[in-house]
Structure 1
Amino acid sequence: MRAIAFLAPLLACATPGLAQTTPPAPAAAPVQAAKEFRDRVNQLPDLLQGKGDYDAAFADAFRAQVPKAKFDAVLQQIAAAAGPYSDLQKLEAKTPWSGTLTVEYRDAIATVAIDVHPAGDHRITGLLVQGLTAREATLDAVEATLKGLHGRTGYVLARLGDGRPQLLRQHNADQAFAIGSEFKLVILAELIRATNGGERRWDDLVTLDGSALPGGGYTAKPAGTKVTLRELATQMISISDNSATDILLKTLGREKVEAMLPVLGIADPARNRPFLGTAEVFKLKTIPALRDRYLVADEAGRRALLAGEVAATPLSKVDVGLFSAGKPLSIDTLEWFETPADLVRVMDWIRRNTEGPRGADARAVLSKNPGIPPLAAAKWGYVGYKGGSEPGVMAMTLLLQGKDGGWYVLSASWNDTAQDVEQGRFAGLVGKAAELAAAP
């Protein structure tokens, strides 16, 4: 339910080559980085290790958005995910004043975009970590690292076809894990079913009724605001917008979403009933009186509690500080639960039900945020993704089409009830697995 703060994966789109009937034009000369740009780049090793003159290196506008304390916090996140800084490996200039860097850390390699102002004292105007790739060189090594992480982990790489998914690699594939925002795939699946069946259209408008919503882009929208199902689904999947999620769940209907659980092949659908919205989970996790009553109730009692006291409890009662503290909160009892094999079947259902022109909207929604670094994403013809996280929980599932047309799913989960998990490290491992799993 929370984002990985320092990762902003971007999809590298390849343009198909055209048949040539005339000699190709001479290749463009490589872009030459300005000397002052290279001078700034050469200061990065100190800056990335928390040294150097931060104020002198970064432009005023950058420092207004990223104060030194925030920059230092990001460096700590990177260190937790990738280990200590090792080397500044390569600069690829895009213009004389911007480019992409390869930065080596002990456990991962980072792709970093950098922009420097072409005038004045040439300070840095942009610095963005686009992705971390683990250093493991083989799928066996990735799996060994995943198995060695604290807490519990599960992992599946599956090939999809006309029949059941074929599990090529697996570890704890049938163990249930808390999956965070990956539950939103079930809501997307119900929307796909409804639009395929003619019950709804992607352009249908939803009118907001002014009900209180969890954090997201629609929280402050006034009653009467109209938004399409397509936009809500896009925000729910691509940036995991919780307000869009709860609007969609209410619009589509909790019971219809629950009915999709066995259809999708989720082995234990009862564990996810009632199917909770994000606001409901926030309330239950942070308000002990509600949590304790909910956990001892049967399904009917839980539904009554959700419709009554939970619905009546204002979101202002949620203690958001409990999440920011980084301590796992009831992740073994108050969550959405699926196995890695369940998530393979969910993605396979989505694949099969989005074939042809009618599936274009859903596939566009699922692929807007590929979830893995550009180098890994570029090795595939299509990348659909949904992840989820909160303290103690990290999960990532990818629907992948090879450039030969074959389909695969890569799904991994990590839970620890006692301590938080290293999201960046996990994301780097999954990204590396996706890169290594692609056909050469």
Structure 2
Amino acid sequence: MVRLLRSLILGAALCLGTGLACFAQGADSVLEKLLSGGADTEDFAPAFLSTISIDQVQGVIGQVRDLIGAPLIVEASDDGSFYVETMTHRASGTIKLDDQGRVLSLWFAAPEPIPQDMDTALSQLNGLSDQVSWLVMRDGQVLSSKDADTPMAVASAFKLGVLSVLAQDIKAGTRKWADVVTLEARHKSLPTGQLQTLPDGSPVTLHTAAALMISISDNTATDLLIDVLGRDRIAMALGLDSILTTREFFALKLNETAQAEYLLAAPEDRPALAAKAGQSLPQSSTVPPYVPGLEWTVPLSRLCALIMPLADLPVMQINPGLAEPHNWARVAYKGGSEPGVANFTTALLDDVGREVCVAVTFNGKDPINMLGAAAAYRGVLAVLR
């Protein structure tokens, strides 16, 4: 699964440099030029262009410009942060210039539509993929929903079901966060994650595995926890007959023969076929587009029901997703994505103590426009705060 980051980094080379400090003088005009369509080679330091071409830079900045429109306000601060406002959006990020006023590093957070009203904000979600569902709840009351009870592919958001079962065991006293389990070769999956780099036999606490699973969507940590907790209980939490491990998911997605056999099999025969495919781990992590029937399909109503009781757990608050933590008393997040699939699920506590859940799923035959999807989602959050 492709890790969904809290802020979208626009190309690896757009985050060059180790520091964020820059001179504000000149940054405003540089940003205004870039966002007005005037990005030229001389605007960027040679170190910046050593890992990314000017055509790629112009393409990335063009995506931002096409989404937010022409800048009306451009403000850069001494610490390198900047703020941009257009007729329809607010955008922020960081920029660093060299002593000649050329860009050394540039990073944009996902733009946020300027809030108008809930209906307008939600309308921005439509058209971003073939299927879109959403659910907005406050204190248990549905403010708006579309196909919220329809199972759709949610990618790594299924990991909420894994954490839910673990949290139940810890509450019951049958497990402790400090319990140590052993990482074995059969648990190792493809990235995202870090645990797959540890030696076989490494001891891992349940807390470490859960924190990595939620905060960076660690696939190996997920499969380790699935093995420890049991598939049947996790499937039940998610409302599924059975679940794939992430290792099995990759094995089936990257092996057309095994995939075809799995999809044609009766539901009761699929777990054995998935386990067989997962005996060997593919070398490539380039995941093909979404294949219906080969995913974790969960309705948004269940995702909100899962995340709300988990929201107070510290492991849920490491990565706030697309919400700005300073706008909320508490933020808990888990999302997921693969080509053709994206999900954002956030549990929030507002300043007057109201519990909020905002969940959106996109499914389609084509890759999701993640910049547009993230911006539209942030627009819904902006209306609620």
Q: TM-score, normalised by structure 1?
A: 0.76
1:50 deviates by 6.4
| SS state at 1:110 partner | strand
- The residue that corresponds to 1:18 in the other structure is none
| SS state at 1:146 partner | coil
CA 1:67/1:246 → structure 2, altered by over 3 Å: closer, same or farther? farther
Task: Give the distance between the partners of 1:147 and 1:124, measured in 2 at CA.
Answer: 36
| SS state at 1:115 partner | strand
CA 1:405/1:297 → structure 2, altered by over 3 Å: closer, same or farther? same
Alignment check: 8 A CA contact 2:154 2:342 kept: yes
1:56 deviates by 5.5
Between 278-287 and 145-154, the greater mean CA deviation after superposition: 145-154
CA 1:238/1:78 → structure 2, altered by over 3 Å: closer, same or farther? farther
**RMSD of aligned residue pairs (Cα, Å):** 2.8
Alignment check: 8 A CA contact 1:132 1:373 kept: no
CA 1:176/1:77 → structure 2, altered by over 3 Å: closer, same or farther? farther
- Among 204, 217, 220, the alignment partner of 1:240 is 217
Task: Give the distance between the partners of 1:383 and 1:146, measured in 2 at CA.
Answer: 22
CA 1:59/1:230 → structure 2, altered by over 3 Å: closer, same or farther? farther
- The residue that corresponds to 2:13 in the other structure is none
- The residue that corresponds to 2:282 in the other structure is 315
Matched, 1:366 2:347: no
1:77 deviates by 4.9
| SS state at 1:87 partner | coil
Matched, 1:75 2:75: no
Alignment of 1:23-422 (within 5 A): 37-48=24-35, 51-54=38-41, 57-58=44-45, 60=47, 62-63=48-49, 68=54, 71-72=57-58, 74-75=60-61, 77-78=63-64, 82=67, 85-87=69-71, 89-93=73-77, 95=78, 98-104=79-85, 108-117=89-98, 120-121=99-100, 123-160=102-139, 165-211=140-186, 212-215=188-191, 216-261=193-238, 269=239, 272-307=240-275, 309-316=276-283, 320-323=285-288, 328-330=289-291, 332-351=292-311, 363-374=313-324, 377-416=325-364, 418-422=365-369
The one-letter code of the counterpart of 1:391 is: P
Deviations 1:289-325 (A, max 9, x none): 1112212223331122233x21323323x5x4453xx
Alignment check: 8 A CA contact 2:189 2:246 kept: no
1:48 deviates by 4.5
Task: Give the distance between the partners of 2:59 and 2:4, measured in 1 at CA.
Answer: 13
Percent of paired sites with the same residue? 27
1:67 deviates by 5.8
1:102 deviates by 1.9
1:116 deviates by 3.7
The one-letter code of the counterpart of 1:173 is: A
1:8 deviates by 4.9
CA 1:220/1:64 → structure 2, altered by over 3 Å: closer, same or farther? farther
The one-letter code of the counterpart of 1:430 is: Y
- The residue that corresponds to 1:427 in the other structure is 374
CA 1:207/1:74 → structure 2, altered by over 3 Å: closer, same or farther? farther
Larger Rg: 1
Alignment check: 8 A CA contact 2:8 2:110 kept: yes
Task: Give the distance between the partners of 2:6 and 2:264, measured in 1 at CA.
Answer: 39
Alignment check: 8 A CA contact 2:88 2:114 kept: yes
CA 1:283/1:348 → structure 2, altered by over 3 Å: closer, same or farther? same
The one-letter code of the counterpart of 1:336 is: W
Alignment check: 8 A CA contact 2:39 2:58 kept: no
List gaps (5 residues or longer) in structure 1.
10-32, 262-268, 355-362
CA 1:409/1:57 → structure 2, altered by over 3 Å: closer, same or farther? same
Task: Give the distance between the partners of 2:351 and 2:53, measured in 1 at CA.
Answer: 43
Task: Give the distance between the partners of 1:337 and 1:435, measured in 2 at CA.
Answer: 28
1:101 deviates by 1.6
| SS state at 2:125 partner | helix
1:242 deviates by 1.7
Deviations 1:194-237 (A, max 9, x none): 11112221122232223342122122221232222222212211
